[in-house]
């Protein structure tokens, strides 16, 4: 069946037919098996079977010179033997890193000669625990040995529980334990905490207007990190992370109070407008409220919306429901398994609190509490009209009707300028390689000075 015939038949469906299809899809989802009900960060890991000496730095350099960055493994593990299935293929489920030991006649590593400071010892223990990888050396780069957005939150939270006042900004700027330990003086940390209560500088240098990126519903901001690599080097870039992310401060009770605090943080860096505010998923609520509040102060705000609908929680209006159904059925026709998987993942938040409550650890429970709070204040927020500007950056959708619904949702509430841009990629891959390269260019086009 072609896409055109699918669209024609969908247009002819009655409201009862639409409801019947939805019920059938729900039954299909509920009957589908899904063995892994926890969200696990995905990363590329390499395993090497060898009896010879191994220098990971040389391997990494070799791969980086020949492969795109997103294809370079984040970690490389040596294992004594590849686990095999009866048919001779590699048994991927039993591929596990092993703790390496230095042979008696082997040349010691630099770390084995050094007596680590107390902070270094604490950080090594935390990294090995969170990354499930040993040994971690003080010169290992966190993001090159498997670190990512979710794991960075656990690293920071665990460090603070031990009295090490590590910040997201420090982990961004100093990605090895050796460099981190040099910066973690009490004086410097206290100064940074006072200056950057919510702000995480991704790049402070530059003479152009800064870009401020609001966190998504996950709470973390590490996924914005690659913007500093691909955007103009003369532009400062800051991310804003929520209160309570590391289990210390009180969480915001509503979007309005969150917005006021974030605006104070933004104005500590840039006192006068126009402001460039990038929002994505959850943070479209904060973007809408910022547009209103900055207008009250007499400042222009350019809200850069990344592939998200205004008031996305009211998705079941007849027009939106029909557009979503058309897009889903087209996606399903092209790739049934991926469509069902994504459908389920997008709704996992309904049962995730129970899963974390009974099967999670302290770190996952703290993060889930924050994410649940973000969901609740987001659902309680009501979108309002404003007179500031919207720059909407969209990816291609399976059906034009969904594209139009997203566009109309923003046109209906903004009385300021509305600009539309299209980028490659899809909603889930906007800020990772290779799509981040195209996305960064579109963000540059949308910025105002």
- pLDDT of the residue at 116: 64
How distant, in Å, are the alpha carbons of 211, 312, 318, 321, 394 from that of 15?
44, 22, 9, 10, 29
Residue 29 tokens read as 């989802």
For residue range 47-59, list pLDDT tens digits in order: 777 766 666 667 7
For residue range 247-278, list pLDDT tens digits in order: 767 899 999 999 999 999 999 999 998 999 99
- pLDDT of the residue at 260: 95
Residue 74: band (very low, low, confident or very high) from pLDDT cuts 50, 70, 90: low
- Once rounded to an integer, what is the mean pLDDT over residues 398-420? 86
**Above 50 in pLDDT, residue 33?**
no
Nearest Cα neighbor of 447 from 266, 286, 295, 235 is 235
Please report, in angstroms and rounded to a whole number, the separation of the first and last CA atoms in the chain.
49
DSSP secondary structure code for residue 429 in this structure: G
**Above 60 in pLDDT, residue 350?**
no
- pLDDT of the residue at 86: 82
Most confident of 67-76, 182-191, 429-438: 429-438
**Above 90 in pLDDT, residue 444?**
yes
Q: Global pTM?
A: 0.66
CB under 8 Å to 25, separation ≥6 — which residues?
328, 343
**Above 50 in pLDDT, residue 105?**
no
Distance CA 162, CA 165 (A): 9
With 0-12 / 13-18 / 19 or more C-beta atoms within 10 angstroms meaning exposed / middle / buried, residue 369 is middle
Instruction: Return residue ranges of the chain for CATH 3.40.50.1820.
Output: 196-449
Distance CA 96, CA 42 (A): 15
- pLDDT of the residue at 271: 92
Query: What fold characterizes domain 42-101?
Result: GMP Synthetase; Chain A, domain 3 (3.30.300)
CA dihedral sign of residues 402, 408, 410, 416: positive
Per cent of the chain over pLDDT 90 is 27
Which carries the bigger pLDDT value, residue 95 or residue 375? 375
Find the length of the chain. 449
Which carries the bigger pLDDT value, residue 337 or residue 220? 220
Instruction: Return residue ranges of the chain for CATH 3.30.300.30.
Output: 42-101
Check: CATH 3.40.50.1820 for 196-449? yes
How distant, in Å, are the alpha carbons of 5, 74, 249 from that of 1?
6, 41, 55
Residue 398 tokens read as 């399976």
The number of CA neighbours under 13 Å toward the Cβ of 14 is 2
One of 3.40.50.300, 3.40.1260.10, 1.10.1200.10, 1.10.287.3510 is the CATH number of 118-195, namely 1.10.1200.10
What dihedral do alpha carbons 439, 383, 201, 185 form, nearest 10°? -150
Element holding 337 (H helix, E strand): helix 336-346
With 0-12 / 13-18 / 19 or more C-beta atoms within 10 angstroms meaning exposed / middle / buried, residue 14 is exposed
Which carries the bigger pLDDT value, residue 55 or residue 113? 55
Q: Angle at the Cα of 416 (from 412 to 421), degrees rounded to 5?
A: 75
Which carries the bigger pLDDT value, residue 59 or residue 17? 59
Residue 360: band (very low, low, confident or very high) from pLDDT cuts 50, 70, 90: low
Instruction: Return residue ranges of the chain for CATH 1.10.1200.10.
Output: 118-195
Nearest Cα neighbor of 236 from 267, 213, 204 is 204
For residue range 270-321, list pLDDT tens digits in order: 999 899 999 998 899 999 999 999 999 999 999 999 999 888 655 556 666 6
Per cent of the chain over pLDDT 70 is 68
CB neighbourhood size of 363 (10 A): 19
Pair 211, 269: CB distance under 8 Å = no
DSSP secondary structure code for residue 201 in this structure: E
Nearest Cα neighbor of 432 from 242, 249, 229, 166 is 229
Distance CA 23, CA 346 (A): 17
User: For the chain, what is the mean pLDDT?
Assistant: 77
Residue 80: band (very low, low, confident or very high) from pLDDT cuts 50, 70, 90: confident
Nearest Cα neighbor of 50 from 42, 41, 59 is 59
- pLDDT of the residue at 293: 95
């Amino acid at each position: 069946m072609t896409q055109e015939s699918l669209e024609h038949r969908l247009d002819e469906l009655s409201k009862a037919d639409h409801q019947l299809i939805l019920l059938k899809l729900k039954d299909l989802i509920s009957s589908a098996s899904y063995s892994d009900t926890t969200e696990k960060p995905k990363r590329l890991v390499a395993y090497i079977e060898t009896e010879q000496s191994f220098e990971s730095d040389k391997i990494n350099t070799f791969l980086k010179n020949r492969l795109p960055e997103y294809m370079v493994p984040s970690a490389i593990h040596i294992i004594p033997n590849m686990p095999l299935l009866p048919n001779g293929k590699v048994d991927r489920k039993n591929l596990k890193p092993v703790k390496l030991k230095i042979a008696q006649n082997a040349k010691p590593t630099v770390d084995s000669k050094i007596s680590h400071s107390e902070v270094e010892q604490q950080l090594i223990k935390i990294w090995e625990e969170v990354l499930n990888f040993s040994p971690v050396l003080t010169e290992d780069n966190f993001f090159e040995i498997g670190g990512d957005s979710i794991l960075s939150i656990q690293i920071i939270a665990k460090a603070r529980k031990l009295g090490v006042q590590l910040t997201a900004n420090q982990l961004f700027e100093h990605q090895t334990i050796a460099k981190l330990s040099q910066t973690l003086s009490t004086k410097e940390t206290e100064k940074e905490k006072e200056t950057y209560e919510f702000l995480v500088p991704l790049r402070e240098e530059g003479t152009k207007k800064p870009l401020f990126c609001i966190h998504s519903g996950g709470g973390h901001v590490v996924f914005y990190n690659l913007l500093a690599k691909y955007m103009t080097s003369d532009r400062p870039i800051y991310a804003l992370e929520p209160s309570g992310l590391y289990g210390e401060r009180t969480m915001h009770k509503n979007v309005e109070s969150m917005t006021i605090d974030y605006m104070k943080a933004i104005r500590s860096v840039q006192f006068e407008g126009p402001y460039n505010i990038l929002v994505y998923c959850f943070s479209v609520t904060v973007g809408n409220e910022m547009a209103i509040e900055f207008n009250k102060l007499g400042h222009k705000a350019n809200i850069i919306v990344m592939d998200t609908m205004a008031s996305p929680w009211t998705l079941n209006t007849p027009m939106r429901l029909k557009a979503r159904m058309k897009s889903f059925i087209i996606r399903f026709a092209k790739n049934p398994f991926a469509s069902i998987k994504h459908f389920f993942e997008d709704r996992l938040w309904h049962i995730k609190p129970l899963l974390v409550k009974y099967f999670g650890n302290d770190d996952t429970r703290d993060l889930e509490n924050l994410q649940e709070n973000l969901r609740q204040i987001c659902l309680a927020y009501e979108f309002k009209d404003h007179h500031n500007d919207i720059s909407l950056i969209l990816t291609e959708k399976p059906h034009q009707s969904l594209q139009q619904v997203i566009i109309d949702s923003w046109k209906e509430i903004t009385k300021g300028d509305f600009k539309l841009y299209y980028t490659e990629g899809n909603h889930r891959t906007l800020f990772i390689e290779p799509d981040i390269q195209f996305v960064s260019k579109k963000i540059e086009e949308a910025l105002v000075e």
